[in-house]
Structure 1
């Protein structure tokens, strides 16, 4: 299970929309306090944490997660809309395993997530797909169109990326 903690609901929906059709179990959480409550009963395999959240930020949450004996080594992917966050101070060493800056490509995020637990992503053909391994599930395409219609720039880039792959 991937636990995604972000106060931006559109980002939570985007991550969930992309990951679920690929077979990921996704737990979306709107803030650090709720995430810590859920961790009393859940054991995610990977965390995807936004840094800039009201209340407890992603760095504080990562620190709390690392302090839990059950999650000392659970992979953490930090996400930030601020490119300068990528240059982390020494005291943040060990708090996370990978870092990605928004806006990011879904392909890059999936690759980084797959690398964390050393999982290989394999495309499995379903009965509804034809022989084109580049085909994107219609639910993902539809969600990207919805997000693009409200001005989500990353969705527009993804739609173009998928069109170019199909060509």
Structure 2
């Protein structure tokens, strides 16, 4: 009897609806279970209630920004081990180092193509790409 594995879950945090929708559709097609959050409070609430396998974090979100949300997740024993990928339009010198210092496991600059994000998620979660996809 073959056991089916639970799909990996990804929480996408971005205040821009188009970004959330595009990333969610692409990742769902890739077999991920996707939830979304529009701001820092929503992200923290969802991550604590239903910890995802990975968080995709826009750093410039309303309310609690992505930097602080990441620091808060990494301080909390329930969410500390969840990898966070920062996705940001802040491509200034030092932005990646600052994101990593906040606890991000990777940093991608916007605009970020969905397949680039998917490759990074697969790398961090140590997953094989789906058949028929280019990697």
**Range class of TM-score, shorter chain:** 0.7 to 0.9
What residue is the counterpart of 2:105 in the other structure?
97
* Greater relative contact order (Cα < 8 A, sep 6+): 2
| Structure number with bigger Rg | 1
TM-score, normalised via structure 2 length: 0.84
TM-score, normalised via structure 1 length: 0.69
Higher helix share: 1
Runs of 5+ consecutive residues of structure 1 not aligned to the other structure = 124-132, 135-167
Instruction: Answer yes or no: is the 8 Å Cα contact 1:86–1:101 preserved in 2.
Output: no
- Paired residue total: 124
Runs of 4 or more consecutive aligned structure 1 residues displaced over 3 Å after TM superposition: none
Higher strand share: 2
- Two-structure CA RMSD over aligned residues (Å): 1.7
DSSP 3-state at the match of 1:27: strand
Runs of 5+ consecutive residues of structure 2 not aligned to the other structure = 1-8
- CA distance in structure 2 between the aligned counterparts of 1:45 and 1:78, rounded to whole angstroms: 15
Pairing of 1:77-96 with structure 2 (within 5 A): 77-84=85-92, 86-89=95-98, 92-93=100-101, 95-96=103-104
- CA distance in structure 2 between the aligned counterparts of 1:40 and 1:77, rounded to whole angstroms: 17
